[in-house]
């Protein structure tokens, strides 16, 4: 990977691209804690229900954040007519593609960090029970990794379609789909990248299998889209 390109991409980011994962992470924390209190008081005395609530809400948050981040980052490039400028720089096109993708990944991981640190903080402040730390980390970061295939699809759509309304609509539909796909009994539906985030929770016995599937799919989609980007005509 080319470090210069990576730094340049970072400096182009709008302030909102950095704040968005932080804010959406905090929003998720707020809703999770509210739900947790609600359940805790009503029908359970199990504090650990916090992790069930997180499991319910996390994919949706990841999907929406990823969609908006991608559209903002790629949209900036369309808006500024920047593609023809970066693509006439003496760098392999593939490196330019990966530099942008890596930034999306970094921003998604920032969201994960915010959620992870937030839960740790809330847990230690409000309870005196042991925190299942490795479970928490797996829950959050497996989900983000499992989201990567969808992120690549969003990335592709955002580059291909200048008008970001369509990729954003697809992203929202995808977010809704992700909520329901893992609930169906038709197992072949699980193969769709939109299912993975719901399938990699450490709650589920074969979550590691689905984690491997998502990583495989990530690599496959990255190769396909990078090949496409390499040959794309900039009209």
* Residues that bind another protein in the complex, under the rule CB under 8 A: 4-5, 7-8, 11-12, 14, 76, 79-85, 87-92, 231, 233-235
Cβ nearer to another protein, comparing 85 with 127: 85
Q: Return d(Cα 198, Cα 204) in angstroms, integer.
A: 9
**Least Å from the CB of residue 68 to another protein:** 17
Question: How many whole angstroms separate alpha carbon 233 and alpha carbon 214?
Answer: 30
- Residue nearer to another protein on the CB measure, 92 or 216: 92
Cβ proximity to another protein: between 96 and 115 the closer is 96
Distance of closest approach, residue 26 Cβ to another protein, in angstroms: 24
**What is the biggest distance separating any 2 CA atoms in the chain, rounded to whole angstroms?**
62
- Reference 151, options 28, 213, 68, 95; nearest CA is 68
Phi, psi of 213 (to 5 degrees): -60, -45
Smallest separation (angstroms) from another protein to the CB of 83? 8
CB of 100 to another protein, least distance (A): 14
Burial string for 176-187 (b: 16+ CB within 10 Å, else e) reads ebbbebbeeeee
| Closer by beta carbon to another protein, 89 or else 219 | 89
Output the smallest distance, CB 101 to another protein, in A.
17
> According to DSSP H, which parts of 127-204 are helical?
133-160, 165-180, 196-199
Distance CA 226, CA 228 (A): 5
Nearer to another protein, 85 or 212 (CB): 85
């Amino acid at each position: 990977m080319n470090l210069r390109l990576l730094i340049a991409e970072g400096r182009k980011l709008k302030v909102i691209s950095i704040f968005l994962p932080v804010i959406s992470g905090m929003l998720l924390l707020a809703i999770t804690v509210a739900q947790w209190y609600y359940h805790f008081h009503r029908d359970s005395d199990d504090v650990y229900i916090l992790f069930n609530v997180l499991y319910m809400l996390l994919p949706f948050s990841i999907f929406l954040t990823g969609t908006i981040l991608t559209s903002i980052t790629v949209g900036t490039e369309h808006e500024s007519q920047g593609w023809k400028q970066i693509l006439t720089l003496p760098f392999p096109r593939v490196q330019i593609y990966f530099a942008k993708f890596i930034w999306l990944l970094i921003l998604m991981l920032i969201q994960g960090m915010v959620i992870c640190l937030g839960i740790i903080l809330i847990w230690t402040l409000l309870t005196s029970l042991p925190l299942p730390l490795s479970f928490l980390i797996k829950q959050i970061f497996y989900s983000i990794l499992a989201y990567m295939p969808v992120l690549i699809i969003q990335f592709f759509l955002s580059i291909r379609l200048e008008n970001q309304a369509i990729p954003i609509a697809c992203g929202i539909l995808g977010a809704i789909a992700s909520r329901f796909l893992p609930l169906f009994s038709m197992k072949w539906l699980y193969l769709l990248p939109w299912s993975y985030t719901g399938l990699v929770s450490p709650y589920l016995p074969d979550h590691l299998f689905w984690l491997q599937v998502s990583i495989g799919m990530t690599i496959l989609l990255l190769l396909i889209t990078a090949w496409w980007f390499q040959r794309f005509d900039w009209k």
